[in-house]
Structure 1
Amino acid sequence: MLPSATVIETPRCRLRRITEADIPFAFSSTHHPGFCDGMPWDAPETEDVLRAVQAKNQAEWEAGTGCAFTIETRDGSIRLGRISLRWVEAGTWNLGFWMHPDHQRHGYMTEAVIALTRFAFDRLGATRIRALHADWNLGSRRVLEKAGFQFIEHIPQGFQKHGRWISEDLLVLLNPNSKI
């Protein structure tokens, strides 16, 4: 289990465990037009939905099966987005992330992904980190490629949303110090 005070710092960002105080930020982010189009979930109807998500994230953190972080500026003055890792199977973790639309295209997410993948390899013993994105989401694809992820597979029926299939691409990053 990770200590609850775990913080990861980058040159411009700080990744810290999500708290209930982050809920209004997450709620507002998800209600930007098109924000949830490439995600398997829809914008929550109320902040109470996000309280349940926060409780689930807390339980995963305590069980050692997941860690969700709020990404904010290094001085903590501006919340930027969210990034998380979830355990899949021995040595393999799944990476997910989103950035508030006002802060996209400034390199913050690439910085956060690189820091969190190093953390996963060094502290969680990850040998492989995988990430999926809607195949049309080129911004997410660029972030992953800049962080060293390699394309593995196109999945025509990645997830269903509103009765139709959303195609996804799977990218993977292997631990450079692992002998697999």
Structure 2
Amino acid sequence: MNSQILSARLTFTKVTLDDWELIRSVYSNPTLMKHIGSTMSDEDIRKNFEKELAPWSMESTHWLTWIIREASTGTEVGLISICTRNREKPTAEVGFILQEAYTGKGYATEAIKAILDFAADTFGFQKFTAVCSEEHIASRRVLEKAGMNLDEIVPDSTQINGKWVNDCFYSLER
């Protein structure tokens, strides 16, 4: 698998042991996790992190995660991941989190497009899905700008910090 993926302004490298601090800071940050889920303990973050370090194939049940960096500076922008959801019709779910300082610059849309192209070309995925809370308007806009279509809004689908939220289910077929 390519060690680095490139887009116009970003680079993507598979997560490594050296990325622990970034991973820990993202998943323990209440602001970044506000629309995703509860913040996680270091122990839970470490368990997930160790899974993501494992080799990945389409048969894997864990996420394949890349660190997103600005190509010009090498600065860490955030994370983007895919996970196989259907092997019959090769389908992957995509998820992303950007650090607050890098939102509103088009980086998330650029990252999704680059990773979907890579995943389709490299692994043969034919369909991509994504889920976000209905109230997370910025993520919904990003998914739509990346070409994904809103398929369904499911009321009271996920509980985040003790509150039930509606989930928006998106997809894109290649």
Shared fold (TM-score, shorter chain, > 0.5): yes
* Distance in 2 (alpha carbons) for counterparts of 1:78 and 1:95: 22
Question: Counterpart in 1 of 2:10?
Answer: 13
* Distance in 2 (alpha carbons) for counterparts of 1:93 and 1:22: 23
* Distance in 1 (alpha carbons) for counterparts of 2:59 and 2:10: 24
* Equivalent residue pairs, number: 170
State the Cα distance separating 1:32 from its structure 2 match: 4.1
Unaligned residue ranges in structure 1 (runs of 5+): 176-180
Q: Determine what percentage of the aligned residue pairs are the same residue.
A: 25
* Distance in 2 (alpha carbons) for counterparts of 1:82 and 1:153: 25
Unaligned residue ranges in structure 2 (runs of 5+): none
Question: Counterpart in 2 of 1:57?
Answer: 52
Where does 1:108-147 land on structure 2 (aligned, <5 Å)?
A: 108-147=107-146
Q: Which stretch of the first structure deviates more once superposed, 55-64 or 150-159?
A: 55-64
- 1:10-53: per-residue Cα shift (whole Å, max 9, x none)? 0110011011221212322344443212113x22232x433321
State the Cα distance separating 1:160 from its structure 2 match: 2.0
Question: Counterpart in 2 of 1:149?
Answer: 148
Aligned 8 A contact 1:20 1:51 in 2: no
State the Cα distance separating 1:55 from its structure 2 match: 1.3
Q: Which stretch of the first structure deviates more once superposed, 147-156 or 18-27?
A: 18-27
Aligned 8 A contact 1:29 1:101 in 2: no
Question: Counterpart in 2 of 1:178?
Answer: none
* Distance in 2 (alpha carbons) for counterparts of 1:169 and 1:123: 27
RMSD (Å) for aligned C-alpha atoms: 1.9
* Distance in 2 (alpha carbons) for counterparts of 1:124 and 1:165: 35
Question: Counterpart in 1 of 2:19?
Answer: 22
The yes-or-no answer on 1:45 pairing with 2:41 is yes
SS at the partner of 1:56? helix
